[in-house]
Chain A
Amino acid sequence: MAPHTEQLTRSAVRLRGLTRSFEGRTVLDGIDLDLPAGQFTALLGHSGSGKSTLLRAIAGLDHGVAGDGRLTAPRRVSVVFQDSRLLPWRRVLDNVLLGLDGKDAADRGRSALAEVGLAGRERAWPGELSGGEAQRAALARSLVREPELLLADEPFGALDALTRIKMHHLLRELWQRHRPSVLLVTHDVDEAIVLADRVLVLDRGRIGLDLTIDRPHPRSYREPVLGEYRERLLAALGVTEDHT
């Protein structure tokens, strides 16, 4: 499939000279970045490289963090966290509808749950769901609001390997259908390569590498071409692989 050039004209997110620091330690050091509308971007970096700080800044969740710079983002932003963050005292459907009102809200919630493969589990308590199901419900909660920008902070980090692969397919599928801009924060190079059309590497508070991956989907981990991207990304992350 060709890249969706017609959609990539408008910027969904625009950062200019964004800085953030904690107690005098600079975490984001003047970042300039444009995320075109509808693009699937992954953000890679070591733990502590400021990935989450950047995501939280874009989400407007960094209360009381020092910093400046210009930042524009769409109005409808959804966030998927590493933990599903379902409220244990609300049933699955009510969790999906959190903060949503309107007459057709329940119907929209039901169809969002159906989309992530949880039809029939509307009345279940979050405590009854498996880890993968809970994260599906969290995806439904973020999608039901029809976000222009979907921010995902290591959303699959706590899942087992098999569930993670299924979730990769699901996320890509949902993106294809709804076309929000996606910023996926991850520390998993393979996850970034398989899912994203553009991969950013955050290094010492700046974008160290901005790589476009122009390969058709669905991608497999085993595609040899992807190995080249992998090496470049690992090099940017300062990891050298021992070839044997």
Chain B
Amino acid sequence: MTAVTTTTAVPAAQAGEIPQVRRRRRLSPGRRLPAARLIGPLVLLALWAGASAAHTLDTGAVPAPWTVLRTAGRLWSDGTLPTDVLTSLERAGYGFAIGLVAGVLLALAAGLSRTGEALIDGTVQLNRAIPTLGLIPLFILWLGIGETFKVAIIAIVVYIPIYLNTHAALSGIDSRYVELAEVQGLTRLAFVRQIVVPGALPGFFVGLRLGVTGSWLGLVVLEQINATSGLGYLMFQAQNYGQTDVILVGLLIYGVFGLVSDSAVRLIERRVLSWRRTLSS
């Protein structure tokens, strides 16, 4: 007889033994697959390539991946793509930077003083209620159709989530830590630096990620509506000439930018909030 102790082989009562413990059915999804977030997009890409190779796709509507790549190469080497990408990056960058600074400063002012809260919080909530893209006509009249109004719209799209999440995190700081700061005799500056800012960082990063995504979203809309350069303009022109491959190049670049900037924020977040990993692991 082999001494294998499978739990199901012999009914315990029959064998006159104490039944062995059987592992419970696992209800959590289990271990994560390696590079899990890339698998979905890669499958999609493979399907696209396969369908193109089998000629089941209308190349006028959906050109093959290699056609898109070739178009991207051509646009890059003739200089149109680098200029457009740079213009778009510049707009998104400026708008994002201004929105970031404004969101953080306003959140600090509203979170640290009652006067600031009274002046700022309601105003921002009001601003939030107005769809930012609805401000475009007004901003064009005020600021002209140049770069300023585009940067301004992106800044507004960015500052709102950063403000909201940072402010929520600030007001959510445990009052027990405030009491501790009083007991330890911290100055107001030390209190802000050592308790308020680190305590609000998790919320700030949530806002930052939303803001980054928002800056790209704003950019796409702005460049499609009225622009004379930039990625959106490139795509708008391509629409007029029926160049689906150029449109796909634009979309691809937007997608890559969005993904890269989001990953960058995540990376910074993991670095800065390294103390949280010890809690969750």
Q: Check A78 against B199 for contact (C-beta < 8 Å).
A: no
What is the size, in residues, of chain A's interface with B at 8 Å between Cβ atoms? 21
**Residues of B close to A127: CB separation below 8 A:** 275, 278-279
**Known A-B contacts A125-B278, A128-B278; A87 and B177 likewise in contact (beta carbons under 8 Å):** yes
Q: Check A98 against B184 for contact (C-beta < 8 Å).
A: yes
**Residues of A close to B10: CB separation below 8 A:** none
**Residues of B close to A60: CB separation below 8 A:** 182
**Residues of B close to A87: CB separation below 8 A:** 177, 180, 194-195, 198
Quick one: which of B177, B185, B199, B279 contacts A85, CB cutoff 8 A?
B177
**Known A-B contacts A98-B186, A98-B194, A99-B185; A88 and B180 likewise in contact (beta carbons under 8 Å):** no
Cα A83 to Cα B176 in complex, Å, equals: 9
Q: How far is the CB of B210 from chain A (nearest CB, A)?
A: 22
Q: Is B78 an interface residue (CB 8 A)?
A: no
Identity of the chain B residue whose Cβ is nearest the Cβ of A77 in the assembled complex: B183
Q: Check B279 against A88 for contact (C-beta < 8 Å).
A: yes
Q: Check B275 against A85 for contact (C-beta < 8 Å).
A: no
Q: Check B176 against A59 for contact (C-beta < 8 Å).
A: no
Q: Check A85 against B278 for contact (C-beta < 8 Å).
A: no
Q: Is A90 an interface residue (CB 8 A)?
A: yes
Q: Is B192 an interface residue (CB 8 A)?
A: no
Q: Is A161 an interface residue (CB 8 A)?
A: no
Q: How far is the CB of B181 from chain A (nearest CB, A)?
A: 7
**Known A-B contacts A61-B179, A61-B183, A81-B176; A89 and B198 likewise in contact (beta carbons under 8 Å):** yes
Cα A98 to Cα B180 in complex, Å, equals: 9
Q: Check A88 against B185 for contact (C-beta < 8 Å).
A: no
**Known A-B contacts A81-B176, A87-B195, A87-B198; A99 and B279 likewise in contact (beta carbons under 8 Å):** no
Cα A145 to Cα B183 in complex, Å, equals: 11
Q: Is A193 an interface residue (CB 8 A)?
A: no
Identity of the chain A residue whose Cβ is nearest the Cβ of B184 in the assembled complex: A99
Q: How far is the CB of A180 from chain B (nearest CB, A)?
A: 15
The prevalent SS among residues of A at the interface is loop
Q: Is A233 an interface residue (CB 8 A)?
A: no
What is the size, in residues, of chain B's interface with A at 8 Å between Cβ atoms? 21
Cα A71 to Cα B275 in complex, Å, equals: 41
Q: Check B176 against A89 for contact (C-beta < 8 Å).
A: no
Interface residues of B in 169-205 (CB under 8 A from A): 176-177, 179-186, 190, 194-195, 198-199, 201
**Residues of B close to A81: CB separation below 8 A:** 176, 180
Q: Is A79 an interface residue (CB 8 A)?
A: yes
Interface residues of A in 99-147 (CB under 8 A from B): 99-100, 125, 127-128, 141, 145
Identity of the chain A residue whose Cβ is nearest the Cβ of B179 in the assembled complex: A61
Cα A7 to Cα B130 in complex, Å, equals: 69
Identity of the chain B residue whose Cβ is nearest the Cβ of A89 in the assembled complex: B198
Query: Which of A60, A79, A87, A145: most chain B Cβ within 10 A?
Result: A87
Q: How far is the CB of A150 from chain B (nearest CB, A)?
A: 11
Q: Check B176 against A85 for contact (C-beta < 8 Å).
A: yes
**Known A-B contacts A85-B177, A127-B279; A59 and B194 likewise in contact (beta carbons under 8 Å):** no
Identity of the chain B residue whose Cβ is nearest the Cβ of A141 in the assembled complex: B184
Cα A83 to Cα B199 in complex, Å, equals: 18
Q: Check A125 against B184 for contact (C-beta < 8 Å).
A: no
Cα A100 to Cα B190 in complex, Å, equals: 11
Query: Which of A79, A88, A89: most chain B Cβ within 10 A?
Result: A89
Q: Check A125 against B183 for contact (C-beta < 8 Å).
A: no
Cα A128 to Cα B281 in complex, Å, equals: 10
Q: Check B275 against A79 for contact (C-beta < 8 Å).
A: no
Cα A125 to Cα B278 in complex, Å, equals: 7
Q: How far is the CB of A77 from chain B (nearest CB, A)?
A: 8
**Residues of A close to B275: CB separation below 8 A:** 88-90, 125, 127
Interface residues of A in 33-91 (CB under 8 A from B): 59-61, 77-79, 81, 83, 85, 87-90
Identity of the chain A residue whose Cβ is nearest the Cβ of B195 in the assembled complex: A87
Query: Which of B183, B195, B198: most chain A Cβ within 10 A?
Result: B183
Chosen A-B contacts, 17 in total, with CB atoms closer than 8 Å, are A60-B182, A81-B176, A87-B194, A87-B198, A88-B275, A88-B276, A89-B198, A89-B199, A89-B275, A90-B194, A90-B275, A98-B184, A99-B181, A99-B184, A99-B186, A100-B184, A127-B275
The 3 A-B residue pairs with the shortest CB-CB distance, nearest first, are A99-B184, A89-B198, A127-B279
Residues of B within 8 A of A (CB): 176-177, 179-186, 190, 194-195, 198-199, 201, 273, 275-276, 278-279
7 new A-B contacts, CB < 8 A, other than A85-B177, A87-B194, are A61-B183, A87-B198, A88-B279, A89-B198, A90-B275, A125-B278, A141-B184
